[in-house]
Amino acid sequence: MEVGFDSEKYLKVQSEKIAERIKMFDNKLYLEFGGKIFDDLHAARVLPGFKADNKINLLKEFKDDLEVIFCINASAIQKSKIRADYGISYELDLIRLIEKLQELEISINSVVVTMYHDGDNISHLEKMLEERNIKMYIHRPTSGYPDNVDLIVSDEGYGRNPYIETTKKLVVVTAPGPNSGKLGTCLSQLYHEHKRGVRAGYAKFETFPVWNLRLLDPVNIAYEAATADLKDFNMIDPFHLEAYGESAVNYNRDISAFPILKNILFKITGQEVYKSPTDMGVNMIKQCITNEDIIHKAATDEIIRRYYSVLCDYKQGICGEETVDAVKVLMDKLNLSLTDRDVANFANERAEREKANVLAIKLPNGNIVSGKESKLLSCSSSAILNAVKNIAGIPDPEYLLSPSVLDGIYKMKQKTSYKTSYFLNLSEVLIALSICSMTNPIIEKVINDLDKLRGCEAHASYIIDKSELNVIKNLGMNLTCEPKM
């Protein structure tokens, strides 16, 4: 893979920037930490060279001076809201994040349940946290928010929230998802700290949008495409332009909320700490881009993938037409088309020619291989077998799995399954390969070569079944699908 981003430099300059911000506030900073702490795959796709674990490595740089407060919205608990990317509830994702950070010996201070109303049932979360010796705090909706600043910054506003005692100079406030109350928790803590004579500060860490890239830079457009369902959009920060005479990119919610936030911060601290929402951030992404051409190509690829994704979501009733339209507008801004995706063109042309479901994979050497659905194999199974054979240099006529093995599994599925089609799905084929590898060194080599599929582009001529989709994601391929059932 061609690299256009320097992760080593990023860890250095980003940690220096955060350390610099801590010193601005008597060595006590509440850092609102957005996005995924682990597995930031969007950033890794858009910025080739960006490591998916960069954020956790950044936190490890401050391990001795750091503690984490997690926020979760009470409504997400009530609705058992599910993370689409992991297929688990926000509650369980919260516990997952806590345990992973504890394994890395990063201090967890507490969990704040925000926007709590009487009658909200949070007993299950409370029990899970008690079992892990994690403190839980409850924040109710803040009286007077957002208009009555005098009430917000008073004992009847933020003062009603319990004070969370912290001991480290960097307090990271994060969450398993958006709209969790991170900002409100930071401001509540600032109120209590200043009442106690501690000149604590606030800052915001977000990877995207990148404030000092162009508004229409593909990296920033890719962020908009990724958050189209949230109705976020990038815009020039007017406060930054007025204060400094330079353009900076921020997103609509931060810009619209800034006048209120500025007044609240002034009421708490007695100082004008920031002149623009961009000032609040500590983003150092641009300084670590080493090749703009590589980055722009990766970002435009991501935008096209996002468009395919929302088309499929719309087809399945997961998102509305307005989300599709929003991403289409972004495609048009950069003059992009679905036909710009060569692996999709290959899959669709073969599917039309063969009158069968097809999955195509673009290999690291640039070759595109494909597989079509047959009586014995799903198109995903066939394509993966063809891809690893190509990588391993195994001639196409040779079988990795003998027809007798496949036929035996097929007949067993006929006897034990209620389905009308019994072909082997991708999980079953990979299990069969792992069993055969015990006696066949060639297959063992093929299994080892599965890692070489990571980062490969793939496209299916129809919406892949969720069970196979998860396997393809776990193999690390960037899959898109035609919006056809």
The predicted structure's pLDDT at residue 394: 82
**Same domain membership, residue 268 and residue 375:** no
Query: What is the Cα 485 distance to its own chain's centre?
Result: 26
**Same domain membership, residue 236 and residue 96:** yes
**Same domain membership, residue 384 and residue 276:** no
Query: What is the Cα 149 distance to its own chain's centre?
Result: 34
Q: What CATH number is associated with residue 426?
A: 3.40.140.40
**Same domain membership, residue 369 and residue 272:** no
**Same domain membership, residue 453 and residue 369:** yes
Residue 199 CB contacts under 8 Å (≥ 6 apart), including other chains: 25, 26, 28, 193, 269
| pLDDT, tens digit only, all 485 positions of the chain | 789 999 999 999 999 999 999 999 988 999 999 888 888 999 999 999 999 999 999 999 999 999 999 999 998 888 765 555 556 677 888 999 999 999 999 999 999 999 999 988 888 999 999 999 999 999 999 998 988 999 999 999 999 999 999 999 999 999 988 889 999 999 999 999 999 999 999 999 999 999 999 999 999 999 999 999 888 899 999 999 999 999 999 989 999 999 999 999 999 999 898 999 999 999 999 999 999 999 999 999 999 999 999 999 999 998 999 999 999 999 999 999 999 999 999 999 999 999 999 999 999 999 999 999 887 788 998 899 899 888 888 877 777 766 666 666 666 666 555 555 567 788 888 887 777 767 777 777 878 888 899 999 999 999 998 888 889 988 999 999 999 98
* Cβ-based neighbour number of residue 145 at 10 Å: 16
In a domain, residue 317? The reply is: no
The predicted structure's pLDDT at residue 11: 96
Asked if 34 contacts 206 with a C-beta cutoff of 8 angstroms, the reply is yes
Nearest to 324 by CA among 235, 463, 225: 225
In a domain, residue 350? The reply is: no
In a domain, residue 349? The reply is: no
**Same domain membership, residue 169 and residue 44:** yes
Q: Which residue range forms the structural domain that includes residue 104?
A: 7-214+232-288
In a domain, residue 318? The reply is: no
Q: Which of 288, 310, 329 is the last residue of a domain?
A: 288
Asked if 437 contacts 323 with a C-beta cutoff of 8 angstroms, the reply is no
Split into its structural domains, the chain has a count of 2
In a domain, residue 335? The reply is: no
In our burial notation (b when 16+ CB lie closer than 10 A, e otherwise), range 425-456 reads bbebbbebbeebbeeeeebeebbebbebbeeb
The predicted structure's pLDDT at residue 418: 54
Question: How far apart, in whole angstroms, are the C-alpha atoms of residue 186 and residue 32?
Answer: 7
Tell me 214's DSSP state.
-
Tell me 461's DSSP state.
S
Q: Which of 245, 268, 288 is the last residue of a domain?
A: 288
**Same domain membership, residue 240 and residue 103:** yes
Query: What is the Cα 439 distance to its own chain's centre?
Result: 40
Q: Which of 246, 268, 288 is the last residue of a domain?
A: 288
In a domain, residue 293? The reply is: no
Region of 103 please: left (phi>0), alpha (psi -120 to 50) or beta: alpha
The predicted structure's pLDDT at residue 374: 82
Task: Cite the DSSP H helix spans in 272-425.
Answer: 277-280, 292-315, 321-333, 342-354, 379-392, 403-416
The predicted structure's pLDDT at residue 389: 86
**Same domain membership, residue 360 and residue 284:** no
* Cβ-based neighbour number of residue 264 at 10 Å: 25
Q: What is the H or E stretch that residue 92 is in? A: helix 90-103
**Same domain membership, residue 271 and residue 132:** yes
358-362: strand order across its sheet: 368-372, 358-362, 457-460, 478-481
Q: What CATH number is associated with residue 197?
A: 3.10.630.10
The predicted structure's pLDDT at residue 324: 95
The predicted structure's pLDDT at residue 377: 82
Asked if 369 contacts 253 with a C-beta cutoff of 8 angstroms, the reply is no
Asked if 120 contacts 78 with a C-beta cutoff of 8 angstroms, the reply is yes
**Same domain membership, residue 369 and residue 243:** no
Asked if 33 contacts 54 with a C-beta cutoff of 8 angstroms, the reply is no
**Same domain membership, residue 245 and residue 144:** yes
Question: How far apart, in whole angstroms, are the C-alpha atoms of residue 277 and residue 258?
Answer: 6
User: What CA dihedral angle connects 84, 86, 89 and 90, to 10 degrees?
Assistant: -90
Report the SS3 class of residue 5.
strand
In a domain, residue 340? The reply is: no
In a domain, residue 324? The reply is: no
**Same domain membership, residue 258 and residue 131:** yes
